[in-house]
Amino acid sequence: MIVSKFGGTSLKDEQAMRRCAEIVKVQGSKVVVLSATSGTTNQIKSLITLAKSDVVTDQIYEVLENIKLKHRLIATDIGGGEYLLGKLNLILDDLEQILQDYLMASAPAKSAMDDELYSFGERISIILFKEVLTQIDLRVKIVDARDFIKTQKSYSQVEPNLDLIAELTPQAIMPHLETFDVIITQGFIGSDIHGNTTTLGRGGSDYSASLIAEALEASEVQIWTDVPGVFTTDPRICPNAKSIKEINIKEVAELANFGAKVLHPSTLSPAMRNGMKIFVASSVDPSAGGTHITTQSEENSFVRALAKRDDQKILTLSSVKMVGNYGFLERIFSILAKYEVSVDLVTTSETSVALTLDGSANGCGGEYEINPEMLGELEEFCTVRVSDNLSLIAIIGNNLTFKQGLGSEIFQSLESFKLRFICHGASQYNFCFLVDKNEAQEIIQVLHQQFIEIPTLEASL
């Protein structure tokens, strides 16, 4: 069985939806998971922000009106007539009603309702897409994801309850497989045990799809997006970057961790558990192929891709008392844990420990401020130095630990740059280091040519 997920840009208008419907037909997808139409979740986010501000202005109604107009336009283009418009208007009225309730609610009650508002993006797009599928003669059943994507808490970014999902998803979907050609459901949304709507965090539809695929023991989950797969590096940095045909899931996990944006990182965990395949491709150009992510491991050693992550900080902690002593690392890490700081890379010497702290892992996308209280506690027993304006470069590939001459090749090609904080060995899938932020882009270009473009060219000769 194939579970296919279509992202927001894939559903941005009537034509885009028709392309996705064709893909469903050609691929024979039995279960389809949908995002909100492009930009809608961001618009809902604006509604929430505006509704929470001290003075509520008419701007909130403008945003609401834009959401309505956009979807009515798609419905008209689809040509579903009064029936479709009627269905759409019902849910848009619901959205307006919940927004009114939200505006009247107290601040804590508002936060508890955020996910209810967020859920409308996916609940609206599914109505439109059902009609498009029906028009190409598919028998379609909508099942509500909140009936089976069960999560632990009732706010955003919650943990899915895997046992309940495994039990409820087949119950909700399997009985319809005979009568219907395609079962469609909303990505991103779920509910807690009390039935309150929850969400899996921004970009979470990918994760919904792989959770559903896991629960149904599907053979493959397909992620249809606006780029033809996972790229060797960011094409905005290297125009010669290419989509990767096949890649091991552990390498993709490294890529996602180091900042590649194609997949929500949690999407991979169900496939790691059960071995199903993941296919990432572009709904705009399905003929361009895509990336097959497999759990099979390869023997060969090679570099596959490069990633860059900006806004890195190094925290260097030194103390002469560390020599031949014990418990130093424990003390450092317990303080970091107390302040809920996620550590990324670690290197040690006789009297120092250096760590990188990453903004995105610590709950903020960009520049990350280190908590001064935490620094104070660390300074009680060691000297602390913070360096910033750094970027992390990750070379990702297979069996890198066994790639002969890898280190010398990297260092030679980057002879004219300063490399710091070299980390290699903990994972056989990456080799990474830090560089000055303003040299990072050029370094990616040099490495891409050396490790990806030249070997590809040589292999084709």
Q: Indicate if the alpha-carbon torsion angle 166, 172, 178, 180 is positive or negative.
A: negative
Stretch that binds ligand ASP, among 196-204, 237-245, 399-407, 437-445 (CB under 6 A): 196-204
Q: Give the tokens for residue 310.
A: 């900006």
Identity of the residue, 187 or 397, whose beta carbon is nearer to Mg ion in the bound complex: 187
- Least separation, in Å, of the C-beta of 191 and ligand ASP? 16
CA 194, CA 116: separation in Å to the nearest integer? 13
Closest CA to 303 of 424, 441, 392: 424
DSSP string computed for 17-34: HHHHHHHHHHHT-SEEEE
By CB under 6 A, tell whether 292 contacts ligand ASP. no
Among 2, 3, 36, 124, binds ligand ASP (CB under 6 A): 36
CA 151, CA 161: separation in Å to the nearest integer? 5
Identity of the residue, 121 or 397, whose beta carbon is nearer to ligand ASP in the bound complex: 121
Identity of the residue, 41 or 356, whose beta carbon is nearer to ligand ASP in the bound complex: 41
By CB under 6 A, tell whether 35 contacts ligand ASP. yes
- Least separation, in Å, of the C-beta of 43 and ligand ASP? 10
Q: Output DSSP code: residue 7.
A: -
Q: Residue 349, Cβ neighbours under 10 Å: how many?
A: 10
Q: Residue 163, Cβ neighbours under 10 Å: how many?
A: 9
By CB under 6 A, tell whether 188 contacts ligand ASP. yes
Identity of the residue, 35 or 154, whose beta carbon is nearer to ligand ASP in the bound complex: 35
Contact 246, 291 (CB under 8 A): yes
Q: Give the tokens for residue 331.
A: 């003390």
291 binds, among Mg ion, ligand ASP, none (CB under 5 to 8 A by kind): none
Identity of the residue, 35 or 391, whose beta carbon is nearer to ligand ASP in the bound complex: 35
228 binds, among ligand ASP, Mg ion, none (CB under 5 to 8 A by kind): none
By CB under 6 A, tell whether 266 contacts ligand ASP. no
| Residue appearing with tokens 């260097």 | 316
- Least separation, in Å, of the C-beta of 151 and ligand ASP? 14
- Least separation, in Å, of the C-beta of 206 and ligand ASP? 6
160: Cα separation from own chain's centroid: 15
Helix (H, G, I), strand (E, B) or coil at 107: helix
With both helix axes pointing from N to C terminus, report the angle between 14-27 and 59-78 in degrees, rounded to the nearest 10. Answer: 50
Stretch that binds ligand ASP, among 177-185, 197-205, 314-322, 421-429 (CB under 6 A): 197-205
By CB under 6 A, tell whether 205 contacts ligand ASP. yes
Contacts with ligand ASP in 113-132 (CB under 6 A)?
121
Contact 183, 24 (CB under 8 A): no
- Least separation, in Å, of the C-beta of 207 and ligand ASP? 8
Stretch that binds ligand ASP, among 33-41, 161-169, 384-392, 420-428 (CB under 6 A): 33-41
Among 190, 204, 290, 397, binds ligand ASP (CB under 6 A): 204
DSSP H helices in 136-161: none
- Least separation, in Å, of the C-beta of 91 and ligand ASP? 15
- Least separation, in Å, of the C-beta of 223 and ligand ASP? 10
Q: How distant, in Å, are the alpha carbons of 231, 235, 288 from that of 248?
A: 13, 21, 20
187 binds, among ligand ASP, Mg ion, none (CB under 5 to 8 A by kind): ligand ASP
Q: How distant, in Å, are the alpha carbons of 2, 28, 261, 304, 341 from that of 202?
A: 24, 28, 12, 28, 21
By CB under 6 A, tell whether 202 contacts ligand ASP. yes
204 binds, among ligand ASP, Mg ion, none (CB under 5 to 8 A by kind): ligand ASP
By CB under 6 A, tell whether 41 contacts ligand ASP. yes
| Residue appearing with tokens 């990324």 | 344
Sheet containing strand 302-318, strands side by side: 343-348, 352-358, 302-318, 383-398, 430-436, 420-424
Closest CA to 297 of 243, 247, 230, 253: 247
Stretch that binds ligand ASP, among 133-141, 201-209, 316-324, 338-346 (CB under 6 A): 201-209
Identity of the residue, 8 or 80, whose beta carbon is nearer to Mg ion in the bound complex: 8
397 binds, among ligand ASP, Mg ion, none (CB under 5 to 8 A by kind): none
Query: Which uninterrupted H or E stretch holds 140?
Result: strand 140-142
Q: Give the tokens for residue 220.
A: 């493959």
Identity of the residue, 160 or 187, whose beta carbon is nearer to ligand ASP in the bound complex: 187
Interface positions with ligand ASP (CB under 6 A): 7-8, 35-36, 41, 121, 187-188, 202-205
